[in-house]
Chains A and B, each alone.
Chain A
Amino acid sequence: MKTIITPILAIVAVLSTLTSCNNSNNSGALSNNNAEKVYVAPGDHDSHYAFISGGFSGNLTVYGLPSGRLFKEIPVFSQFPTNGYGYSEETKPMFETSYGFVPWDDSHHPDISQTNGKLDGRWIFINGNNTPRIARISLTTFETEEIIEVPNSAGNHSSSFITENTEYVVAGTRFSVPVPQKDIPIKTYKGNFKGALSFISVDPEHGHMDIKFQILMPGFNYDLSHPGRGKSHGWFFFTTYNTEEANTLLEVNASQNDKDFIAAINWKKIEEYVKKGGGTMMPANYAHNVYDEHKHTATSTMKKEVRVVNPSEVPGAVYFIPTPKSPHGCDVDPSGEYIVGNGKLSANLTVHSFTKMLDAIENKKFAGEAYGIPILNFEDVLAGSVEQPGLGPLHTEFDGQGNAYTTFFISSEVVKWKLGTWEVIDRKPTYYSVGHLTIPGGNSAEPFGKYMFAMNKITKDRYLPTGPEMEHSAQLYDISGEKMELLLDFPTHGEPHYAAAIPAEIIKNNSRKIYRLDENQHEKKTLSGSDVKIVRDGKNVHIYMTMIRSHFAPDNIEGIKVGDKVFFHITNLEQDFDVPHGFAIIGANNAELLIAPGQTRTLTWEPKQVGVWPFYCTDFCSALHQEMQGYVRVSPTNSNIELSWSLGED
């Protein structure tokens, strides 16, 4: 017996040593449980929503944190065959612009609505960069509810950031253009082109947007922007590049000045000026598209004028802060004191002080002026700089603990540094070419500094290859400790340009599960199978149809002719969570539809061939989904077959 006991004791002793060793120095396998930190067990929910812009997809994707799971793609600026957004008659008006129907865009910066500087989770705004537009998306329905076009603007890049009570969402132009547009030589750029910074008010009740005023700034490029908050509430800061006002080979010619500017704009002062009738109404032409949740229908209105303000007419409202060198990101810390100007060609990171800026303004310490706008002295406003933190600083977010996190595009890393002391605390590589980074609430007065994710432009070697083109990627870091820790890589759809993230609790309990049929105010709704009808109006045939598991009413339709334009107005009668039905018909030249419970949608179909053509449900809805189908008989143009329809009759 003794011989057995001794080795067992020895093993126990060794094991306990190992265990205590692990406990004592807090390193090794037990502390490196990154898989556990991102693991969300089946059926469990993530703790945060991340809304990641789709960049060139034109849309907004919804991910969970920390799992990195994709939940949804919300169509915003791009047609979306998945559910017929931009193809159905109800949603087509969302794409109307002064350039006509523009069914795509390049969406960049989402921002969640705020109350008192805190994320309130009511709406999320995002900019269309190419055809200047701002969209508002409801975070109860996760549908795009409104899109406003921005006139006098081009490359709507320094958008869509919002003030701390969602008073305004801004839309700053990246490209300066002639205002109003006209046919002039491009060489006459300097002095003739203008940069419009648009302040779009948001109705506190319904969120409806309206361009209150545009500030017509000198012809620089307005790259990014951020609202002041706390003590600097009432101000907005825009980075500029190409203060040289060059118009060709900008990679050289716009990089000559050692310093460009951050434009500091006292919007409250301009708001007062405008309220007193200041500024001038300028003829314009821009679309305002509003989706009505109860009518399930969007309408598009063309607006014909816009109020413009010349900044030199409002003394004390606009100043330029010199900032090295071609600054990109412009980020304001949660207290509102520090304005970080990331000079992307500068070796150092420049941080301005809001208090010092006010002092300099009060003491009228100006270095000069540009187009009547005072320029402050760099040294007077400088709070400090982070010395040589990396190459190519782009964007900064904050954790609410006095730390800032900056992305470095060229050196592909995130650097954590301390506000006030400007010392670098930590740096971690990203894979690769990181653009923006996001901390949930990091763009508000109250960040939730547990996670940070970086959004990268290049993915090579991180995933299995998928041909020359790969999805971009995001990387999640734990920032709860002194050092950052890379937890997870996850692919993102389109370009993950920027993102907004928020604790799930603020949103998930308000999320809508169905549309109530008794609130459906769609003009072409059909609320029960007995109300089904088909109406011919010349060549137009309107089919009022219902769908419920597992049939369409009617399912057999006759009397349609080649050359007709058939409108299927279909209402989903379900009142059950997560039971949409699809509708697809052979030869449709547009899309299918996905219709949410209680919703009405219209698909147009122009039959071109005689025959009996099937339609069916595309969303697997029940055990009898395959049986959810019907036929349309299409007769020759000159036939005299009467319209008829049926369901359940032999």
Chain B
Amino acid sequence: MKKAGIIMIVGALLLLGLFKFPLWNIMLGAPQYPEPLGMNIYIHGIEGVEEFDLQNIDGLNHYIGMKTIPKAEDMWEFSVFPIVIVFMVVLGTVIGLLGYFQKLNYKYFLGWFLLMSVLGILGIYDFNNWLIDYGSNLDPNAIIKVTNPDGSPMSYKPPLIGYQKLLNFDVDSWPHLGGYLMFIGMTLTLVAFWAGRKASLKPTTQ
């Protein structure tokens, strides 16, 4: 159980990477932007990949009537997400410590993982809702209006994950370093669960 406890703690601590590195990254390339414009999405706000990218994305989006990219204070998510992550890191560390000292069943590791997964899915759901709103809730006075073949207004929602062509832009949306650290951390908590289970099963199999 000692090893499992350590793995659990390491896994939980890897979530701290989200405070330093972006969770997600969206890049917008176009023929006239050979160096693509990009935004890094952190749990506490959105920043341009290059210094003036956000200003330039907003400038372009204004033609199609998109809202400007929200500042940290414009969205409750950017104040709540850091609290949730801190909570999960503390919780995971405490569970890991208790596991290390054999005070607690390895199944709590799985419990943490499931809770984190539920929160993660809620987060992705929320993120997707924001993307839908950002990409389709357009200014009715927008200068450029493009419709789908069926006549409905075109949505400029960036892909939740992966690549998509949006008018002249090639849009790539992928997790970034903070996101990968989180996924590795979550995987480690599963490993901790498996290791804890193996350790606790040992006496009975011998």
Closest to B37 in A: A576
Contact A576–B52 (Cβ < 8 Å): yes
- Whether A623 touches B52, Cβ cut-off 8 Å, given contacts A548-B59, A549-B59, A576-B59, is no
Contact A624–B59 (Cβ < 8 Å): no
Contact B144–A623 (Cβ < 8 Å): yes
Minimum CB–CB distance from B136 to chain A (whole Å) comes to 21
Does B143 belong to the interface (CB within 8 Å)? yes
Does A514 belong to the interface (CB within 8 Å)? yes
- Whether A575 touches B143, Cβ cut-off 8 Å, given contacts A548-B59, A549-B59, A624-B63, is no
Q: A514 to chain B: which residues have CB within 8 Å?
A: 52
Q: B63 to chain A: which residues have CB within 8 Å?
A: 622-624
Give CA–CA (A623, B63) in the complex, Å: 9
Minimum CB–CB distance from B46 to chain A (whole Å) comes to 17
Does B137 belong to the interface (CB within 8 Å)? no
Minimum CB–CB distance from B109 to chain A (whole Å) comes to 48
Minimum CB–CB distance from A486 to chain B (whole Å) comes to 34
Does B68 belong to the interface (CB within 8 Å)? no
Contact A575–B55 (Cβ < 8 Å): yes
Minimum CB–CB distance from B171 to chain A (whole Å) comes to 19
Minimum CB–CB distance from B51 to chain A (whole Å) comes to 8
Closest to B34 in A: A43
Please encode chain B, from 44 to 74, with 1 for each CB lying within 8 Å of some chain A CB and 0 for all others.
0000000110011001000100000000000
Give CA–CA (A574, B35) in the complex, Å: 17
Closest to A623 in B: B63
Q: A575 to chain B: which residues have CB within 8 Å?
A: 51-52, 55-56
List residues of B (18-62) whose CB comes within 8 Å of A's CBs.
35, 51-52, 55-56, 59
Closest to A514 in B: B52
Minimum CB–CB distance from B197 to chain A (whole Å) comes to 55
Q: A576 to chain B: which residues have CB within 8 Å?
A: 52, 55-56, 59
Please encode chain A, from 548 to 581, with 1 for each CB lying within 8 Å of some chain B CB and 0 for all others.
1100000000000000000000000011110000
Minimum CB–CB distance from A488 to chain B (whole Å) comes to 27
Give CA–CA (A574, B52) in the complex, Å: 9
Give CA–CA (A623, B143) in the complex, Å: 10
Q: B143 to chain A: which residues have CB within 8 Å?
A: 623-624
Q: A548 to chain B: which residues have CB within 8 Å?
A: 59
Instruction: Please report whether the interface of chain B is mostly helix, strand, loop or mixed according to DSSP.
Output: mixed
Most buried by A among B56, B59, B143: B59
Q: B52 to chain A: which residues have CB within 8 Å?
A: 514, 575-576
Closest to B32 in A: A578
Q: A623 to chain B: which residues have CB within 8 Å?
A: 63, 143-144
Minimum CB–CB distance from B56 to chain A (whole Å) comes to 5
Give CA–CA (A493, B95) in the complex, Å: 76
Q: B35 to chain A: which residues have CB within 8 Å?
A: 577
Minimum CB–CB distance from A638 to chain B (whole Å) comes to 41
Minimum CB–CB distance from B4 to chain A (whole Å) comes to 51
Q: B59 to chain A: which residues have CB within 8 Å?
A: 548-549, 574, 576
Minimum CB–CB distance from A619 to chain B (whole Å) comes to 14
Give CA–CA (A577, B143) in the complex, Å: 24
Q: B55 to chain A: which residues have CB within 8 Å?
A: 575-576
Give CA–CA (A569, B63) in the complex, Å: 27
Minimum CB–CB distance from A629 to chain B (whole Å) comes to 15
Please encode chain B, from 180 to 201, with 1 for each CB lying within 8 Å of some chain A CB and 0 for all others.
0000000000000000000000
Minimum CB–CB distance from B27 to chain A (whole Å) comes to 16
Please encode chain A, from 570 to 601, with 1 for each CB lying within 8 Å of some chain B CB and 0 for all others.
00001111000000000000000000000000
Please encode chain A, from 269 to 291, with 1 for each CB lying within 8 Å of some chain B CB and 0 for all others.
00000000000000000000000
Minimum CB–CB distance from A261 to chain B (whole Å) comes to 55
Give CA–CA (A514, B55) in the complex, Å: 14
Q: A574 to chain B: which residues have CB within 8 Å?
A: 59
List residues of B (128-143) whose CB comes within 8 Å of A's CBs.
143
Give CA–CA (A623, B52) in the complex, Å: 21
Give CA–CA (A574, B59) in the complex, Å: 9
Minimum CB–CB distance from B160 to chain A (whole Å) comes to 28
Please encode chain A, from 503 to 522, with 1 for each CB lying within 8 Å of some chain B CB and 0 for all others.
00000000000100000000
Q: A624 to chain B: which residues have CB within 8 Å?
A: 63, 143
Minimum CB–CB distance from A277 to chain B (whole Å) comes to 51
Minimum CB–CB distance from A520 to chain B (whole Å) comes to 14
Minimum CB–CB distance from B37 to chain A (whole Å) comes to 9
Q: B144 to chain A: which residues have CB within 8 Å?
A: 623
Most buried by A among B52, B55, B143: B52
Please encode chain A, from 24 to 54, with 1 for each CB lying within 8 Å of some chain B CB and 0 for all others.
0000000000000000000000000000000
Most buried by A among B35, B63, B144: B63
Minimum CB–CB distance from B104 to chain A (whole Å) comes to 53
Closest to A576 in B: B56
Give CA–CA (A514, B52) in the complex, Å: 10
Give CA–CA (A113, B110) in the complex, Å: 67
Give CA–CA (A147, B165) in the complex, Å: 51
Minimum CB–CB distance from B183 to chain A (whole Å) comes to 34
Give CA–CA (A623, B55) in the complex, Å: 18
Minimum CB–CB distance from A35 to chain B (whole Å) comes to 26
Minimum CB–CB distance from B58 to chain A (whole Å) comes to 11
List residues of B (141-164) whose CB comes within 8 Å of A's CBs.
143-144
Give CA–CA (A576, B52) in the complex, Å: 7
Minimum CB–CB distance from A597 to chain B (whole Å) comes to 9
Q: B56 to chain A: which residues have CB within 8 Å?
A: 575-576
Closest to B143 in A: A624
Give CA–CA (A549, B144) in the complex, Å: 14
List residues of A (75-123) whose CB comes within 8 Å of B's CBs.
none
Closest to B35 in A: A577
Closest to B51 in A: A575
List residues of A (475-534) whose CB comes within 8 Å of B's CBs.
514
List residues of A (594-625) whose CB comes within 8 Å of B's CBs.
622-624
Most buried by A among B35, B51, B56, B144: B56
Minimum CB–CB distance from B116 to chain A (whole Å) comes to 39
Give CA–CA (A623, B35) in the complex, Å: 20
Closest to A575 in B: B52
Give CA–CA (A623, B146) in the complex, Å: 15
Give CA–CA (A622, B35) in the complex, Å: 18
Give CA–CA (A574, B55) in the complex, Å: 9
Give CA–CA (A222, B78) in the complex, Å: 72
Give CA–CA (A577, B53) in the complex, Å: 11
Give CA–CA (A574, B60) in the complex, Å: 12
With A576-B55, A622-B63 given, can you name 4 additional A-B contacts, CB distance below 8 Å?
A514-B52, A548-B59, A577-B35, A624-B63
Return 19 A-B CB contacts under 8 Å, by A number: A514-B52, A548-B59, A549-B59, A574-B59, A575-B51, A575-B52, A575-B55, A575-B56, A576-B52, A576-B55, A576-B56, A576-B59, A577-B35, A622-B63, A623-B63, A623-B143, A623-B144, A624-B63, A624-B143
Q: Which 7 A-B pairs have the closest CB atoms?
A: A575-B52, A576-B56, A575-B55, A549-B59, A576-B52, A624-B143, A623-B63
